[in-house]
Every structure is written in structure tokens, then in C-alpha cells.
Amino acid sequence: MSASTRRRAKVLPVGIAATAALLLSACGGGAGGAAPAEVDLGSGPAQAGTVKAGALEGVNMTFASYGGIYQDGQMAAAITPFAEESGARVLSDGPMEYAKIQAQVESNNVTWDVVDTDSNWAAGQCGKLLQKLDYSIIDKSNIPEGLASDCYVPAMQYATVMVYNTEKYSDAPTTWKDFFDTKKYPGKRAIQGNDAGAGIFEGALIADGVAPEDLYPLDIDRALAKLDTIKDSLVYWSTGAQAQQMLEAKEADMAVVWSGRAFGAVENGAPFEPAWDTGVVVMDVLAVPTNAKNPKASMALINYYLGKEQQEKLTEETSYSPVHLEAKPEVNENGRKFLITEPEIAEKVIVSDFAWWGENYADVLEKYTAWVS
């Protein structure tokens, strides 16, 4: 379409040219300059958190993530310092959306060089919309066991965890059984309604008597049947901001939310406590879309992001847990309550089966959507 519009624009009056320009800019979406022929990232083994000074002078890149304090923290902790050291010009874009990645890859006009995305989705897109990572450029030696894969590295870890209103319940609900017990613990429970991820399904099965070590492969139909028993007490959130708002307004008495959002609510004075026996560890990942313009530069950015200092700063800015084994972030008391790398929390939580979720995410989402609506 754009080609024919362009041709017409030459022969028609100014108004049309302006219209066409508007259209083109709307469709084009800032396709940066042509990729530089070669990038010299230096010699020797890669070391997380470093980049050769000035190696990416003149390179334009775009980092896409989920916005809010999370992306601000990522920019401050890793992306902006990376741009300063490497000489690359890195734009921040968002929110990351699967459909946008697909549209970019399929039209062969990939404007996002590195994306922060969901691990379940990324696992299912390896070799399709996401390309394999180059581990000669990315140093993964300090990433906790099992979190990196062919196509992604962790961006941070967090948990889906049940939190409860301490003012409402004198006898604290601390287990998944309590969450599903509306007789002993009446009140509204908020869960995510527009997407499916690790947390509530594992919880429903545990409440239904499945042992944590026998969870996977998840029996989604059984989990949904268990959720049916409390459907009248459920309200749904669609975004992290909405979840946090529900806690701060005490709209929900219990909620299964992302730990970072629970932390945000507690920092703002919401009377909620996490029940860590219900925690399921999940993560965001960094990945590179297929046909990204400058894969080497993308890899270099990811490698820099994974450094110890960067991970500490990221945690201090966002409350999400670091993915560097030696990272020792300095956080306040509330922050420590939500760090899944704290030993007393780490021993309680379950780590979700990323491989299973990667394979089954689309099916679970379809079933869950049908169940919710």
C-alpha cells in the first residue's frame, strides 16, 4: 500500500502529500538507519555487565519492555549505562506486545532489538518469532540454574503470590487451601482474568490435594473445576496497575498478584502480607526477535544487563529479584519481604516448570479465557 501511496503523492496536490506522509509515518514506525556492516565487540570471553567502550558508536537500538517503574528501573540500572559505554543510541519503547513482535517479524521490519517478555510465551516462540541467543557474546555463568534457555535469559525473577488483608483476617490465611476456603475466609479474591500464567492453576491443584512435586504436567481441567468452587468470590484484574489499585483500595480481601505489585501496594500503605507458602516463582525474560537488525548489538546489550551491579541496581529500583547469583541488593524491610532470593522465602516457594508452560501456554490461555468469559 505504501508504495502506491507514495507514487500518487507526487502527482497530487499538497493536501494529499501530507496525508500520505501521515500514513507512511504511521505505518513505517521509525525504521532506523541501515545496520552497520560490522560490530567489533572485542576479543576474549564475554563477561556479564561489560561492553567494549565505544563498540557500538552510531548504532541505533530499541529496547521494549512493560513500562512503569519496571522499565524505568531497567533503563536506569542497565540500558542507559550500556548506551553511554557502548556509544549506541538506545530508545525505550513499549508496552511489549506479542502481536507487535509478530507484525514486525512477518513484515521483516523489526524495530525492537531486545524485548522484555513473558517466559512462557518466549519458550513457545524459540526459533519462530524469537531467535537463538549467541552465548559467545552473552555470559550466562552467573545466572541461576535452569533460568536461561536457547532463546532467552531471565530479565528478573518474581513470584505470583497470594496476599491477604491483615485488617480483615485475624487468623491469617496462609495456604492455598485457605484461599479456596470461602467458609472460613469469606471475602473477595482477585486474580488475573485476561491472561494465564503460573500461580493460580498450581494453587488450585495444591488446594485440591495434589502434592507440589506431582504438579506437572498441570491438569488444567481439574484446576478450573476447583476454581469453579470459588467463582462467586472472584474478581479479575487485567494489568499490574489494576491489581495494585485493588489492594490499595482494599477492594479485594485476598489476591493472587505479581510480587512487585504487592510490594508497590504495601509501600503505599496497603495493609497486606504475602503468604509465601503459596508463592510460585516466575520470571520475565530478555529475547531478540527473529530478523532483528543488529543481533550482535542485541546480544551485547543483554550481556551488559546481566552484570552483578546492574542486577543489584535493578532490584533496588523495582523490588524484583536479581538473576545474578552473587547480587546483594540493598533493599528496605518491605522490599526484603518480597525478594524471592531471600533464603527463608526461597525455601518456601515453588519454581514453575518453564518448559511445560512454554509448551502449553497457548492451550491454557484458550481454556482459561473460555472459563472466565
Partner 1 sequence: MSVSLKDPVRQAGQARRTGGAAAASGRRPLRLSPVLLLLPALALMAGVFAYPLAEAMWRSVAYPAPGPQNYQWFAADAGNWAVLGRTLWVALLSAAICLVLAYPYAYFMVISGPKLRAALMVIVLIPFWTSLMIRSFAWIILLQDNGLVNGLLAVLGLGPFELIRNTTGVLVGMVQVLLPFMVLPLYASMNNVDLRLMQASSSLGARPFVSFTRIFMPLAMPGVVSGSLLVFIQALGFYITPALLGSPAEMMISQYIYMQVNGQLQWGRGSVLGVILLVATLALLGLLALLMKKSKRAAGDEGGLL
Q: What contacts 6, CB < 8 A, 6 or more positions away? A: 20, 24
Q: Which of 188, 337 has the CB closer to partner 1?
A: 188
Q: Does 102 bind partner 1 (CB under 8 A)?
A: yes
Q: Which of these segments, 7-15, 35-43, 80-88, 267-275, binds partner 1 (CB under 8 A)?
A: 7-15
Q: Which of 80, 109, 245, 291 binds partner 1 (CB under 8 A)?
A: 245
For partner 1, the binding residues in 351-370 under the rule CB under 8 A are 362, 365-366, 369-370
Q: Are strands 60-64 and 89-93 parallel, antiparallel or unpaired?
A: parallel
Q: Which of these segments, 35-43, 198-206, 248-256, 319-327, binds partner 1 (CB under 8 A)?
A: 248-256
Give the integer Cα–Cα distance in Å for 65 and 62: 10
State CA 33 to chain mean position distance: 28
Look at residue 109 and give its three-state secondary structure. coil
Give the integer Cα–Cα distance in Å for 304 and 47: 8
Q: Which of 249, 268, 325, 328 binds partner 1 (CB under 8 A)?
A: 249
Least distance from partner 1 to the Cβ atom of residue 326, Å:
36
Eight-class DSSP state of 76: I
Q: Which of 22, 53 has the CB closer to partner 1?
A: 22
Least distance from partner 1 to the Cβ atom of residue 94, Å:
13
Q: Which of 47, 175, 182, 194 binds partner 1 (CB under 8 A)?
A: 194
- Position 314, amino acid: L
Scanning the structure block, which residue is given the C-alpha cell 522484555?
116
Q: Does 11 bind partner 1 (CB under 8 A)?
A: no
Q: Does 6 bind partner 1 (CB under 8 A)?
A: no
Give the integer Cα–Cα distance in Å for 238 and 130: 25
Q: What contacts 60, CB < 8 A, 6 or more positions away? A: 32, 33, 88, 89, 91
Q: Does 166 bind partner 1 (CB under 8 A)?
A: no
Q: Does 184 bind partner 1 (CB under 8 A)?
A: no
Q: Where are the beta strands (DSSP E) in 3-110?
A: 60-64, 89-93
Eight-class DSSP state of 351: E
Least distance from partner 1 to the Cβ atom of residue 22, Å:
8
Look at residue 276 and give its three-state secondary structure. strand
Q: Which of 57, 84, 97, 221 binds partner 1 (CB under 8 A)?
A: 97
| Beta partners for residue 280, in sequence order | 160, 350
Q: Which of these segments, 9-17, 149-157, 202-210, 212-220, binds partner 1 (CB under 8 A)?
A: 9-17
Q: What contacts 99, CB < 8 A, 6 or more positions away? A: none
Give the integer Cα–Cα distance in Å for 198 and 277: 15
Q: Does 182 bind partner 1 (CB under 8 A)?
A: no
Least distance from partner 1 to the Cβ atom of residue 251, Å:
5
Q: Does 109 bind partner 1 (CB under 8 A)?
A: no
Q: Which of 26, 211 has the CB closer to partner 1?
A: 26
Q: Which of 3, 34, 37, 99 binds partner 1 (CB under 8 A)?
A: 99
Give the integer Cα–Cα distance in Å for 176 and 206: 7
Q: Which of 83, 364 has the CB closer to partner 1?
A: 364
Least distance from partner 1 to the Cβ atom of residue 372, Å:
5
State CA 286 to chain mean position distance: 8
- Position 251, amino acid: E
Q: Does 151 bind partner 1 (CB under 8 A)?
A: no
Eight-class DSSP state of 313: H
Q: Which of 70, 368 has the CB closer to partner 1?
A: 368
Residue 153's nearest CA partner among 298, 6, 335, 334 is 298
- Position 297, amino acid: A
For partner 1, the binding residues in 18-57 under the rule CB under 8 A are 18-20, 22-23, 26
Q: Which of 238, 268, 332, 334 binds partner 1 (CB under 8 A)?
A: 238
Q: Where are the beta strands (DSSP E) in 188-271?
A: 189-192, 234-237, 254-258
Residues that bind partner 1 (CB under 8 A): 1, 5, 8, 12-13, 15-16, 18-20, 22-23, 26, 97-99, 102, 188, 193-195, 234-236, 238, 242, 245, 249-251, 362, 365-366, 369-370, 372-373
